[in-house]
Every structure is written in C-alpha cells, then in structure tokens.
Amino acid sequence: MDKWDVKLANMLKSRNNPNMPGITLGKVISGMPALSVSIGDEIILDAEDLVIANWLYHIPTPLTPGDYVILIPAPHGQTYYAIDKAGE
C-alpha cells in the first residue's frame, strides 16, 4: 500500500501545469504614444496588450523602432508589462 503523501505528491506531479514564460525582450515596432512591440516573429503586442511603465513615457531617449524593451507576462498570458528599455 502506498503512503498517502507519496500518492498525493505523484498526483500533483502528474498534473499538466502550463509553462509560464518568464521575463523576455520585445523589439519596438512603433514608439510612443501607440507603442507596438514584437516578441520573435510570431507575437505582436500593441498598446491594448501592454501595461506600460510610467518611466517609459519620460525616458531621456524616447523609444524608437528597433529598440528593445523588457517585458514581463501577466499570469494569464494575454497582457505584458513593459517595465524598461533594454540596453544603454
């Protein structure tokens, strides 16, 4: 007979938990105020998909196409938080 704790651990391990993406870089397609960012070749995020940090509206060098921003996905994966400009 299996121990209850081993059985429970095996049940939890066998669940199909989705892989949550971590922090990633997005390439700016169009700058402010209608920021648009691509992640790889497949995903394009526009202003309605992004929560943009206030700091990005006031950085000394504005975001322009070709720049990179640091993105954090929301838990549900539909929204991304643009938190800072990458580099420099």
Tens of pLDDT, residue by residue over 19-62, are 666 889 999 999 988 999 999 888 899 989 999 999 899 888 89
- Provide the pLDDT for residue 45: 92
* More confident: 81 or 12: 81
Closest CA to 52 of 66, 22, 67, 31: 31
Supply φ then ψ for residue 8, to 5 degrees: -65, -45
- Work out the average pLDDT over 55-84: 90
- Provide the pLDDT for residue 88: 63
Per DSSP, the three-state class of 85 is strand
